């Protein structure tokens, strides 16, 4: 009996619970050692705990700005005039942007937690490092988008509508972040599987993107014809989003 136990130990045979820990079948001692040295849960990673804490603190600091801009942001879903308010009122525009960047960070953390953005090479890294990769990818996407907006910016005619249509993106970021945070809290309370939560989040992203595209075309119609508005939509929204999706599929 002792000999059998010794052979099992030398072969790094694990119990059923250990073998399937975190969805991984541990067939060798190196894999077991790697898992033992890394956090078993996303929330166990120190980097993730720190980022969540920072996001919560920033959200609390932005509560007054959120209360002021949210009615205008919500009204902008249905009407164009509230959207133009942020272009004519510099203070409100800055407050909206501040809230949107906090919402952007919250979305990045949700994307990382539920693998909404998950590249194959990221699987080799601990949860905390993977989260930093997600934030970096989302920032790169935002930089590409902002560069394209600047490149196609009209000199004079229709500039207000052009900028309003592009900054509408920040309005929808705030709304999407609110919807996703509520979804995550409800799903965690109901103890739903992560795959189900991920699917719900993807539906929310798709619905928000479709509504954003329609509203953007509607606002651009005040500046140009529908065909040119569609070309702007392809260049400024669909192309950067396509790069993000292609990266997820290829890497």
* Rounded CA separation 146/160 (Å): 16
* Rounded CA separation 145/78 (Å): 24
Picking from 62, 139, 124, the residue whose alpha carbon sits closest to that of residue 99 is 62
Query: For residue range 55-112, what is the model confidence (pLDDT) as tens digits?
Result: 999 999 999 999 999 999 999 998 888 898 998 899 999 999 999 999 999 999 999 9
Query: For residue range 138-190, what is the model confidence (pLDDT) as tens digits?
Result: 999 999 999 998 888 887 777 788 888 889 999 999 999 999 999 999 998 88
Cβ neighbour number for residue 41 with a 10 Å cutoff:
9
User: φ and ψ at 15, to 5 degrees?
Assistant: -70, 165
Q: What is the model's pTM?
A: 0.79
Based on the number of CB atoms within 10 Å of its own CB, is 79 exposed (0-12), middle (13-18) or buried (19 or more)? exposed
DSSP summary character for residue 224: S
């Amino acid at each position: 009996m002792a000999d059998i136990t010794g052979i099992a130990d030398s072969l790094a045979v694990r119990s059923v619970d250990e073998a399937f820990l975190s969805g991984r079948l541990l067939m060798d001692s190196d894999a077991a050692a790697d898992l033992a040295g890394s956090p078993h849960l996303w929330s166990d990673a120190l980097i993730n705990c720190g980022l969540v804490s920072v996001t919560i603190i920033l959200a609390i600091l932005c509560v007054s700005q959120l209360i002021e801009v949210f009615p205008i942001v919500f009204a902008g879903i249905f009407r164009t005039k509230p959207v133009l308010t942020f272009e004519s009122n510099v203070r409100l525009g800055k407050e909206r942007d501040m809230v949107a960047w906090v919402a952007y960070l919250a979305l990045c953390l949700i994307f990382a937690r539920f693998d909404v953005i998950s590249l194959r090479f990221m699987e080799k890294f601990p949860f905390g490092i993977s989260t930093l990769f997600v934030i970096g990818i989302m920032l790169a996407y935002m930089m590409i988008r902002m560069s394209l907006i600047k490149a196609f910016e009209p000199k004079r005619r229709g500039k207000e509508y052009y900028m309003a249509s592009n900054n509408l993106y920040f309005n929808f970021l705030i709304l999407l972040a609110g919807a996703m945070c509520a979804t995550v809290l409800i799903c965690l309370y109901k103890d739903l599987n992560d795959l189900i939560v991920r699917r719900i989040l993807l539906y929310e992203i798709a619905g928000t993107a479709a509504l954003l595209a329609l509203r953007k075309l509607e606002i651009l119609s005040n500046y140009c014809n529908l065909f040119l508005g569609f070309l702007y939509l392809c260049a400024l929204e669909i192309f950067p989003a396509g790069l993000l999706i292609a990266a997820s599929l290829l890497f």
